[in-house]
Each structure stands twice: as C-alpha cells, then as structure tokens.
Amino acid sequence: MAAPRVLFLCTHNSARSQMAEALLRSRSRGRVEVESAGTEKTLVRPLALQVLQEIGIDASAQTSKTLDRFIDERFDYVITVCDAANDACPTFPNAGAREHWSLPDPSKATGSEEEQLAVYRAVRVELEERVAALIARLASRGAHA
C-alpha cells in the first residue's frame, strides 16, 4: 500500500504550512509523504525554524514552494492552514479530502523577539495537536501512518 500523501497550503508557505509539513514528516516517522506550498513563494521564516528546532525538528532544508507544481498530483489530504489560502485554493481534482485548519498567522506577530516566539510556539502547539489527530485518522484507516 502506498504511503498516504498530504499537502499543506498557506498564502506564503513561510510559517504555518512549513511547520505543519515538518511536524507531520517527523511525527509520522516518514510514513506519510508530505509537502507544503503557497499561493505565493517567499522564504521560510527563521522563527518558524527556531520553534521547530526547540522540539528537535530540523526543517532548515525546507524551502518555500508555489502550489502550481502540485496541482495535478494525487493527495489523500489537501489542508489549508490559513483563511486566505482556503479562499484562494483551487480545486485539486486528485485530492481524496480537503480540510481547512484556521490558524493565526505568526508572521504578523509584533513586539520583542520573545513575544513573537510566543505566538509561533502557540501555533506550533496547535499544529502538533492537529497533526497527531491526522496521524490517528490515517492509522485508523489502515494508512500505516
């Protein structure tokens, strides 16, 4: 049986979708093929990488990608992690399911670096919970996640 495939989408593919990709890859121990993309290509936010590193996940090799490269691929789940991407998300004809996880944009956090990190950490914690639930659903369906 092929590994389940998941695509996380966000506007800039710089924080939330990058964190979700890294978390799912790490927590599923590679048993889920996971990608992330954005409606626009930017750079991965250093604070997103930092809060992942705090929990032992090195996502420094990840890059920002646009969704056009994935539009014709098959995914078991296409998950938007920001409201703008949810509104702008095209139809993925080869997607088994489409979900929306509405999460605040940590890149909009202001204040000191520590205050900004607190926002990134809160989003990471919420993503950890949602990723754990997704892995449980995949496992219950026999997807070996």
The residues annotated as belonging to the active site are 10, 82, 89
Residues in contact with 120: Cβ distance below 8 Å, sequence separation at least 6, in sequence order: 15, 45, 47, 48, 50, 51, 106, 109
Laid out side by side, the sheet with 33-38 consists of 33-38, 5-10, 75-80, 95-100
